[in-house]
Amino acid sequence: MKIPQCHREQEVLDAVRSGRWSGAWGEEIRTHAAGCAACAEVALVAEAMLQEHHLEQAEVRLPSAGLVWWKAQLAARRSAEARAAQPIALAERFAQAAVLLTALGLALWQWPRISGWLGTKVAGGHTSSWAIPGEWTDRIGRLLQSVAQGLGGQSSGYLLIASVGALLALMAFAAYVVLREE
């Protein structure tokens, strides 16, 4: 079988590559390709190859080396910041726990005053809108008294010593974190 050839195949190929094929300048060559099987086939294959080439070029867009380096430096800096913030977050949690324990100890120590304050009456014999009813005050008082007895009935001096000890431990931890970085 003999493959048909046309002397204008190269012209069709050039028109497709240059972009003339789809514009007004390619009208005459498109008319020829419509009547010539060899040129129509060349145009079809050339358009498919050109489209594949454009897709290939669009997919392989590599960023510049400077951008890649900058992003790597940024990622390293963020990682270092996260590592540096871990001891600070730990110290913060420790301080929150110390404050909570101190507040609980203070509430145990001063419960008679707190229950008196919560159960106060406003002039005229009416309880204020924010006062806790007496039965709840009694229940909370009994609960806190049982906790205080379970702790051995510690006096206010022990509470002060425990608070100072917690503060000193927190300061020692903070000094460790600061000196460790140097």
Helix (H) or strand (E) holding 18, with range, is helix 9-18
Q: Where are the domains of the chain?
A: 9-59, 80-181
Evaluate whether 56 touches 145 at the Cβ level (below 8 Å): no
Q: For residue range 44-100, what is the model confidence (pLDDT) as tens digits?
A: 998 888 888 877 776 667 788 999 999 999 999 999 999 888 888 888 888 888 888
Evaluate whether 15 touches 21 at the Cβ level (below 8 Å): yes
pTM of the complete model: 0.34
Instruction: Count the neighbouring beta carbons within 10 Å of the beta carbon of residue 132.
Output: 15
Mean pLDDT of the chain: 76
